[in-house]
Chains A and B, each alone.
Chain A
Amino acid sequence: MVYPFLWLLSASLMTVREFISVPPKLVPDVPQWGNYTAVLQRVPFFRYLLNSLVVATSISLLVAFTSALGGYVFAKMDFTGKKTLFRFILATMMFPNFLFLIPNFFLLTRIGWVDTYLALIMPFAVSGYGIFLLRQFIMNIPSELIECARIDGASQFRIFVQIIIPLSLPAMATLVLLTFVAQWNNFLWPMIITSFTPSLTTIPVGIAKLNLSFGSLANQHLVLAGMVIQVLPVILLFLFLQRYYVKGIVMTGFGGI
């Protein structure tokens, strides 16, 4: 199970000759730390990192907020059309992403967002999965708390900001983590939407392009160094926060966004 990761780490520190040697070498004779500086110098890797960070963070925070909003409404309010709307939101999770690629690409080019971060962020700002997760969580918040606040004269908006959000923070943290990892790894949409604006390239797209920009086999080991830089942050994030991740999955029965 873990071998491919160990291989990646070890191979990213090899020279080309060691990398393509037969039989395959397990560890490099001398670790080539220069591979890392080389990849950072030869492609705008910091730019990729920054783009991914901006996009994944914005989406995570937006999703956490909109999910808490929707989760609160569906958990604690009673209104006409509630059941139908909730089923609709659950149903949106079942639609294949491929149905949205072309229309959204068309829409975002027409409104002129394509060369901005908005094109990478907005199509993911709301998540049916997130609303579902927060609803499950907020249902367990005692309704008496909300009633008391209402009797004291608090508006619904104040109740949401001062009671629901603070109490939902554990579930929101789980959702932020799940969304961040999913968006950090998201490939298809960023690849399509950044095809005309290389300056917005995110890491997965950058990694996929590394092969093209380096071409020959002579630079394959640099591709591996780039991959370590991409993979390491999420692995570390997960290592420290895995219980939040696990909680989200167990709470909803869904693994992804």
Chain B
Amino acid sequence: MTRKGKENLTAYLFLSPILLFFAVFFCFAVGFSILVSFKNWNMLDSPVSVPFVGLRNYVGLFTDPLFRAGLVNTIVFALAVTFTSITLALFVAIALYKLKGSAIWRFIFFAPMITPAVAVGKIWTYLYNPSYGVVNHVLGWFNIPARAWLSDPTLTLPSIMIVAIWSGLGVPMLIFTAGLDSIPTSYYDAARIDGSSKVRTFFSITLPLLKPTTLFLLVTGMINAWQTFDLIYIMGGAAPAASTQLVSIFMYNTAFSYMQMGKALAASVVLFVISLFTTLLALRSFRKGGMESYYA
């Protein structure tokens, strides 16, 4: 056998467990989801024998007011949480950059992120409690009237967004810190000699050079945010369903409470299409230089 042929054989032999895994838990699953989303299936019958119903599941989704509310909420939630946490993380990273004891700061900002979302959700449910919660109590010091943070339909989603932002600052902050490390100090020296103000230096040096990092964080942050489930599942129970509905929650309930698997699969495919759109953006951001080196 030629050297090339032998190397091919070894490589695929080494990869076989990995390829088997992706065939079973990835390719099969994606194919199954797309195919059965066009069928009327309830988990008990065989998915092969149940009839195709064309686009009925998708039409059903988009005429369902709860799903439409979920779609709007998902987009609002993902955009608001991603943009806010990245902006905040940038400022925190710059503020803490030259500070002493950075390991302690890092720990403080990371702790919420490694805490299970279930626990984070529960803790904040107590803090937000309208009668004995600390949030209302503290706001009371400033004469701000008490509110029902997690049952008032206009307040619930924003209240949960605040928690999502609080718990998601760690990673972007760290990646920004790594980005700041890669900016040569000579640029800052030059700016100082030219008498550039701090604000001007930020907008003309720091921000443009962090652009690939920022873009990359936006895209990966968004892909995660589309899939938010745990926090809303734990915290959203007291508010009217439509106000905290997300595509993910809708899909979960349709599947595992109502057993309408076809419709639930259609919802997951919609979520997938939204993610795919973000992925295409991601690939563009890779090409623009953020992750170029990884493709080499």
Could you list which residues of chain A lie within 8 angstroms of chain B, going by C-beta atoms?
1-2, 4-5, 7-8, 11, 19-24, 66, 69-70, 72-73, 77-80, 82, 85, 88-89, 91-92, 94-104, 106-107, 122-123, 125-126, 131-132, 136, 156, 160, 181, 184-185, 187-188, 192, 195, 203-204, 207-208, 211, 220, 223-224, 227, 230-231, 234-235, 238-239, 242, 245-246, 249-250, 253-256
Contact = CB atoms under 8 A, between A and B. Distances in A.
Interface in B188-235: 213, 216, 220, 223-224, 226-227, 229-230, 233-234
A2 B33 CA distance: 41
Given A126-B21, A256-B224, A187 B117 contact: yes
Nearest to A25: B132
Interface in B51-79: none
Given A4-B123, A66-B18, A231-B119, A107 B230 contact: no
B255 A249 contact: no
A219 B133 CA distance: 17
A237 to B, nearest CB: 8
A106 B223 contact: no
Given A96-B227, A230-B116, A249 B111 contact: no
Contact of A79 (B12, B29, B223, B282): B12
A235 B116 contact: no
A77 B117 contact: no
Given A20-B131, A77-B10, A96 B111 contact: no
Interface of B: 4, 7-8, 10-12, 14-15, 17-18, 21-22, 24-26, 28-30, 32-33, 36, 43, 47, 103, 106-120, 122-124, 126-127, 131-134, 137, 166, 170-172, 174-175, 178, 213, 216, 220, 223-224, 226-227, 229-230, 233-234, 247-248, 251-252, 255-256, 261, 264-265, 267-269, 271-272, 275-276, 278-279, 282, 290-291, 294
B54 to A, nearest CB: 20
Most chain A Cβ neighbours within 10 Å, of B11, B24, B103, B256: B11
A255 B109 CA distance: 13
Nearest to B108: A1
Given A102-B264, A204-B116, A207-B119, A188 B230 contact: yes
Contacts of A69: 14-15, 17-18
Contacts of A223: 122
A171 B7 CA distance: 25
B117 A185 contact: yes
Contacts of A88: 22
Contacts of B131: 20, 22
B103 A242 contact: yes
Given A95-B272, A96-B268, A187-B230, A72 B14 contact: yes
B25 A7 contact: no
B255 A104 contact: no
Contacts of A250: 174-175, 178
